Amino acid sequence: MSRAELLNLFVSCPGGVEALLEQELRAVLPKGKIEALRGGCAVRAEAEGVLIINLESRLAQRVLVELIEGGYRHEDDLYALARQVDWERWITPRHTIKVDTTAHRSPLKSLNFATLRVKDAICDTLRDATGERPSVDTYAPDLPVVLHVGEERAALYVDTSGEPLFKRGWRVDKGDAPLKETLAAAMLAAAGWKGTPDTGGALHDPCCGSGTIPIEAALIASGAAPGIMRRFAFEAQLPFQPLQNRWAELKRAAQARVHAPAVPIYASDVAFRMVDFARRNAERAGVAQYIQFNGGDALERPAPQLPEGMPGTLMMNPPYGERIEVRGKAAAVREHSGSEQRDATDDFFPRLASHWKRGYTQASAGWTAWMLSPDMKLPTKMRLKESRRFPMWNGPIECRLFRFDLVAGSARAPRSEVANAEPND
């Protein structure tokens, strides 16, 4: 592969994030040809684009290079398809491989057998060329290969990321229901929050759990590249070896641009154990000094005092009552009411809204709250009218990111913004 050869990439992302990913990729790869599809973006770019997207994209899950695509009916056709690929360009027999298969309406009975046939094709191709076969490493292969089988057509990709990109390398302490880093970044991107006084201002997550939202926010606000702390599969793959110097340069430039944020970032949680986790995660991410951590019930946390004229953004995925219970004052009310049927979230959300209306409408430039929830009735529970709602998938869970404008005396949104919102479900 020459440096200037154009590659067909598929950059995957969480459902609902495709348009935001397209925008982000246009910014990090101005020369790339980019098109949003379902579940990601198709990108046509030079090999250097693979390095840049892996290093800089906050929203992408994986960067795949398409190798070949064709019709198939049974597993032998997949073997024949994979035999057409010049695997010697990608690895030597001393490298390790792993094949994963994804399917959409495939007529095949056994995806395991399909996977095996592609693995055989890679091994046979290398054995014919060199006399040796590569071995399989299911944990950290040098060449992760993805086979996608559709109804009639199949495609083979090389995964250049290795571990999915939401694994930034800083998270060790997880908590019970952590958001993926890519989804936290997508929430911030949907809000247009970029960590400056003009793009959302200060940030506060009053149910921070393991700290995903404030840590992602601090990385954005300090200009840190999301992939700077980790390794990628492409680092071992042959086509990217001539780009080693360029890779070192890209990382050096990314490190050199890191700066202190221009806005304050706050994080708190009712569980002191979670605050501890969040602080430790932030230390590993190198941004602990940019986040003010506190323990405490969200129903009691006073609004942070912001510099005159600076707006504030509340960003959170609150406890849903399924995997993560509401704790603190609202939970105590439930216990005393003696009713097993009564859900603590029934008390928590209206009280949170009243608390915000009392305390968070005073800042001169105002606060805007963004909440990710699978509960389509959240605005009703909050007794607030949302001004926007974005569909987003938290893994398999369909959610909405709701925006509430906390305006003194009124929680109603301006008409123009209601007109932009997704129609109420």
Interacting residue ranges for ligand SAM, rule: CB under 6 A: 175, 177-179, 206-207, 209-210, 212-213, 269-271, 274, 297-299, 317, 319, 324, 326-328, 330
- Burial (CB count within 10 angstroms: exposed 0-12, middle 13-18, buried 19+), residue 94: exposed
Q: What is the smallest separation between the CB atom of 318 and ligand SAM, expressed in angstroms?
A: 6
**Is 72 or 360 the residue whose CB approaches ligand SAM more closely?**
360
To ligand SAM, the closest distance from the beta carbon of 276 in angstroms equals 11
Contact between residue 216 and residue 90 where contact means Cβ atoms under 8 Å apart: no
Residue among 77 and 276 whose Cβ is closer to ligand SAM: 276
Q: How far is the CB of 333 from ligand SAM (least distance, A)?
A: 11
Least distance to ligand SAM from the beta carbon of 375, Å? 12
**Which residue lies nearer to ligand SAM by CB, 14 or 144?**
14
Question: What Cα–Cα distance (Å) separates residue 101 from each residue in 82, 85, 133, 158?
Answer: 13, 17, 21, 12
Which residue, 63 or 371, has its beta carbon nearer to ligand SAM? 371
CB of 298 to ligand SAM, least distance (A): 4
Of 125 and 281, nearer to ligand SAM (C-beta) is 281
Rounded Cα gap, residues 63 and 237, in angstroms: 14
CA-nearest of 362, 225, 205, 218 to 268 is 205
- CA-to-CA dists, residue 246 to 5, 51, 305, angstroms: 16, 9, 44
Q: Write out 175-209 in H/E/C secondary structure.
A: CCCCCCHHHHHHHHHHCCCCCCCCCCCEEEECCCC
Query: Residue with CB nearest ligand SAM?
Result: 209
Provide the minimum distance between the beta carbon of 359 and ligand SAM in the complex, in angstroms, as a whole number.
14
Q: How far apart are CA 256 and CA 248, in angstroms?
A: 12
Considering beta carbons, is residue 96 or 373 the nearer one to ligand SAM?
373
Provide, rounded to whole angstroms, the least separation between the CB of residue 33 and ligand SAM.
Answer: 34
Residues 29, 407: contact at Cβ < 8 Å?
Answer: no
Give the CA diameter of the chain. 77
If the CB atoms of residues 52 and 298 are measured against ligand SAM, the closer one turns out to be 298
